[in-house]
């Protein structure tokens, strides 16, 4: 009988801090995710390492800030695009690679977005199998992007469909997840499932029943479809008698871009693509009845980079000694919110530029894009970053500035012309090419998606 916990990591796309009921939403109906939070641990100060998705996802997989693994910028873009000759270096070690060492069966379903060339696909990074769309769902052929290659659905390393009906994608993902759970319940091997949802990235194609029931338009329907998927997974885990020893982690890759358009980053300032709190502070819920006390709420400073060391230590796999890992083991919080925090510092990078740093309750901003700034906020009192306390607290400014300078020397800051001492290269191949190519004679189910994404940038 397997004693190691099964692990399910659920990562949404562009889901805002305030989009779930348990994080304050009055617009979206999320009873199953709210129940998940009530039965486990909810973090209030949880961060993704980037406000956009490719660097965010690379950081979560490796436990490292994006610039450390060469994931700050991609040919000058903020995310990877189809056919790029760069991606997550095959020499990087991922959470999946670590868990495989402990005998876990590993699978990813959904969005990868760490490179679409064969050398960069999940099956080369510790995952036994893959099913999903390898990048953002707006990167297929759309009315406002007619020159994009057809959107691929990939199984392992093979394109099995192009331009799918996106209204059915989440249902297909749920079915794939159930099959994986059943398979490894039968063989009693511990499993790691990484389910990376398509929602709520635009364009929002949602099933009719969710759209009709939503009081928040297509955005709310997409959120509620995510909640439905959670209910399906929980039902199967309980039916199989393995929910007590399954660790579920639920989060989002960055904040909502749709603030005011259905999405909400709650009381936080800013949106996706920004290093204000709304761009990187996201929901994070953990449920594991065998180890986590129900109804726990923690305001510790934690991040997705902590998953790598936490899960590694949980299953008894040592951290690699030949590289720096930025994350910290946060398993002490499983026993309650009063555990000693292993870390109180977080650095806000946008591409390869350091824009802000948080230490404890204080956050110091240096710049936003091309503009420098001097701003200090007490996030415990002012999560909306509205009252600048820079002038009144020179000692705090100096202390945080010193932390920032040490980080610049470690992994760089191109806004100040500083090259980091401890960075690793992005993966590169020769002659990258898209996974698909449009053919006029191909019988696509959806030849051209008919909703413009209205976004300024993918990711």
pLDDT digits (tens, 9 = 90+) for 197-214: 999 999 999 999 999 999
DSSP state of 77: B
**Confidence at residue 1, expressed as pLDDT on a 0 to 100 scale:** 42
CATH 3.40.720.10 residue window(s) in the chain: 6-343
Label residues 365-391 b or e (16+ Cβ within 10 Å = b).
bbbbeeeeeebbbbbeebbbbeeeeee
Residue 152 forms beta bridges with which residues? 162
Give me the CATH code for the 346-424 domain, please: 3.30.1120.10
Mean of all residue pLDDT scores within the chain? 96
Identify the segments of the chain with pLDDT beneath 70: 1-2, 454-459
**Rounded distance, CA 195 to CA 286, Å?**
15
The number of residues in the chain equals 459
Give me the CATH code for the 6-343 domain, please: 3.40.720.10
Label residues 297-325 b or e (16+ Cβ within 10 Å = b).
ebebbbbbbbbbbbbbebbebebeeebeb
Q: What is the pLDDT of residues 383-431, one digit of tens each?
A: 999 999 999 999 999 999 999 999 999 999 999 999 999 999 999 999 9
**Confidence at residue 454, expressed as pLDDT on a 0 to 100 scale:** 57
161 in Cβ contact with 152 (< 8 Å) = yes
Backbone dihedral region for residue 37 (phi beyond 0: left; psi -120 to 50: alpha; all else: beta): alpha
Which helix (H) or strand (E) element contains residue 376?
Answer: strand 371-378
**Catalytically annotated residues:** 53, 113
CATH 3.30.1120.10 residue window(s) in the chain: 346-424
């Amino acid at each position: 009988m397997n004693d190691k916990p099964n692990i399910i990591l659920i990562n949404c796309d562009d889901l805002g801090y305030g989009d779930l009921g348990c994080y304050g939403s009055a617009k979206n109906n999320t009873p199953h995710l709210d129940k998940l939070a009530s039965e486990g641990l909810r973090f209030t100060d949880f961060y993704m390492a980037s406000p956009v998705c490719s660097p965010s996802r690379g950081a979560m997989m490796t436990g490292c800030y994006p610039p450390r693994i060469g994931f700050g910028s991609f040919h000058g873009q903020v995310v990877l695009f189809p056919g790029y000759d760069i991606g997550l270096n095959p020499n990087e070690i991922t959470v999946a690679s670590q868990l495989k060492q402990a005998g876990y069966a590993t699978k990813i379903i959904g969005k990868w977005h760490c490179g679409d060339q064969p050398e960069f696909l999940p099956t080369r990074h510790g995952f036994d199998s893959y099913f999903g769309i390898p990048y953002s769902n707006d990167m297929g052929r759309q009315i406002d992007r007619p020159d994009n290659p057809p959107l691929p659905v990939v199984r392992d390393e093979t394109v099995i469909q192009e331009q799918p009906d996106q209204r059915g994608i989440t249902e297909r993902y749920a079915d794939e997840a159930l099959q994986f759970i059943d398979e490894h319940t039968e063989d009693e091997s511990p499993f790691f499932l990484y389910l990376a949802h398509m929602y709520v990235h635009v364009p929002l194609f949602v099933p009719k029943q969710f759209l009709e029931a939503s009081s928040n338009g297509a955005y709310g329907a997409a959120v509620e479809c995510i909640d439905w998927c959670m209910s399906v997974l929980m039902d199967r885990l309980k039916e199989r008698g393995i929910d007590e020893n399954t660790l579920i982690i639920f989060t989002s890759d960055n904040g909502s871009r749709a603030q005011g358009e259905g999405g909400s980053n709650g009381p936080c300032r800013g949106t996706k693509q920004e290093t204000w709190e709304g761009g990187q502070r996201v929901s994070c819920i953990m449920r594991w009845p065998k180890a986590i006390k129900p109804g726990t709420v923690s305001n510790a400073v934690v991040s997705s980079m902590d998953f790598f060391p936490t899960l590694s230590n949980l299953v008894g796999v040592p951290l690699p000694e030949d590289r720096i890992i930025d994350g910290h083991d946060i398993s002490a919080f499983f026993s309650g919110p009063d555990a000693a925090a292993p870390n109180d510092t977080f650095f806000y990078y946008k591409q390869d530029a350091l824009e802000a740093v948080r230490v404890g309750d204080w956050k110091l901003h240096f710049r936003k894009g091309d503009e420098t700034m001097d701003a200090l906020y007490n996030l415990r009192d002012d999560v909306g970053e509205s009252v600048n306390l820079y002038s009144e607290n020179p000692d705090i400014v100096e202390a945080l500035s010193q932390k920032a300078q040490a980080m610049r020397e470690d992994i760089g800051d191109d806004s100040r012309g500083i090259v980091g001492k401890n960075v690793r290269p992005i993966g590169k191949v020769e002659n990258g090419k898209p996974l698909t190519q449009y053919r006029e004679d191909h019988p696509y189910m959806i030849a051209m998606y008919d909703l413009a994404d209205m976004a300024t940038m993918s990711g």
